[in-house]
Every structure is written in structure tokens, then in C-alpha cells.
Amino acid sequence: MKRIDKKENGQFFGTSICYTSKNVEVVTSDEFLDMIIEKGCRFAWYFHYMPVSNDAAPELMPTKEQRVYMYHRVREIRGNTGGKPIYAMDFQNDGEFVGGCIAGGRNYCHINPNGDVELCVLIHYSGADIREVSLLDALKQPLFLAYRDNQPFNQNHLRPCPMLENPELLQKMVRETGAYSTDLMSEESAEHLCGKCRHYAEEWGRRPRPCGKSAILSPRGTVTIKTRLYCYSVGNKLYSFLRRSHRNSRRHKSFLYGVCCADFCCV
Ligand code: SF4
């Protein structure tokens, strides 16, 4: 930690932090954040613990209450008002900004030290070795095509993953495309991996359902409530915000679209 101290070398840097049921409060505490900010850290990428590998510890997966806490806490940390001078991102709770899962070649993929072209750094299955095929062919392997055919895996972008929140989907795609396990420690079947996520997915899925509505404010100031597929919802806070934004909307002759209200009712 001494070597990354801003006072010594003037560098700024980012962190990659895995949050678990055991450390979620510590790694988001004011004390921890103030310490890394003081050392020069300018962005923090939070990763939800994934029970990957035969030796994984599923009990380290955050509870749904802890995940809700993370949703709010990360937005608080990066808030323009009252936030901290660091940009925090949450790999599992920020799907709404990127349209859900980005893996399988949609926006990125992962190549492990053995050359296996994997869907995601967290999901170790493949049907292509980069030493034998071109990157373009690797991106066209059956498992990747199945991924892209099925994205987004859920219309609720707070449930983006085919392993963690939709575990039945990863098993199906691996089975149907004949992909193999590329885990570097020990081969793990998709059924075994996804079996560890079933309870979590059910619990998280039991959160209140999306209301399926969004609000649109016209330049004339009228608010229209529309039904949409996405997890947008309309609460009183959002409605008030749109009304307050009316003047701005008129100036730019634009429409404002409502997004999730602050009540987290759409998870
Ligand atoms: S496969 Fe899961 S963990 Fe990987 S990018 Fe997609 S949603 Fe995220």
C-alpha cells in the first residue's frame, strides 16, 4: 500500500474490489473509501462475488438485502451531490447503463492463459482456442452465437447474468453448443456451477416485480405514462422531477424519459 501512495509517486489509479457477504460493509465504508482516495484512487470497480469453481464458497454471495444496499451505496458514492471524489461502478447493479450482459463478444470476451476464448472473465466455458482459430472465428463459435441470440438474458437489467440471476440459461447454452469447461483449476460442469446460483436467483427474483411503466414529459409539459418492457418504473419522486424539469425540456425542445424511481421498486 505504501508504494501506491499518491504522495510518493503522484500516480492515480483504480481498484477492482470483490464484495461478498462478509466484506460488503467494510469495502464501502467511508473509512475505506477515504483511505484509497487519499492514496490517489480515482475509480472503484465493484464486483459481486461469483461462486465459480468447484472450490467456491456460495455462502460468500451477498444476500439480497446486501445487494440492495450496494445498489444505493454505489449511487451515493458517485453522486454529484454529497458523493465522494471517486467514480464507483458496480458490475452487477449497473446493467441498466449498458443494456444488460456485455459478454460473449457483444462488447468483450476473455482469453485465458491456455488460449481458450471464454464468454466472460467470470464464466469459464469455450469451444475455441485462439492458437488454432482467428479471433473472428472464435467470436463466431456456437456458444458465443447462442449468447448473442439470447441477450439480454432478462428485460430487468438488475438481473442480467445467465449464470447468477438466470442460471437455467447458461446450462442450456453450454449443453446445446457442446462447449467445454476451461476452468484452470479443475473442470466444472455448467450444471454444478449454476446449481450454486439457483437459490440466489430465486431469492433475488422475489423482489417486487417491475411495474413496466415509464414517464415521458413533452415540451408542452404534459406527462404521459407509457408501458415499456424494461424495468423502468414511475414513482412520485420521478413525476415531481419531470415536472420540475419542464422548463429545461422546453428550452432544448426535447423529450425527457423517466427512469427508475429512487424507491428501488423495480428490482
Ligand atoms: S456473463 Fe454475467 S458476469 Fe459476465 S458480463 Fe455477462 S452478466 Fe456480467
Residue with cell 413496466: 212
Give nearest CA residue, ligand 1 atom 6.
101
Spatial CB neighbours of 122, under 8 Å, sequence gap ≥ 6: 50, 52, 163
Q: How remote is the CA of residue 59 from the centroid of ligand 1, in Å? A: 20
pLDDT digits (tens, 9 = 90+) for 53-107: 999 999 999 999 999 999 999 999 999 888 999 999 999 999 999 999 999 999 9
User: In which band, very low, low, confident or very high, does the pLDDT at 226 lie, cut at 50, 70 and 90?
Assistant: low
* DSSP letter, residue 99: T
Model confidence at 251: pLDDT above 70? no
> Rounded distance, CA 163 to CA 180, Å?
16
- Residue 163 Cα to ligand 1 midpoint, Å, equals 8
Global model pTM greater than 0.75: yes
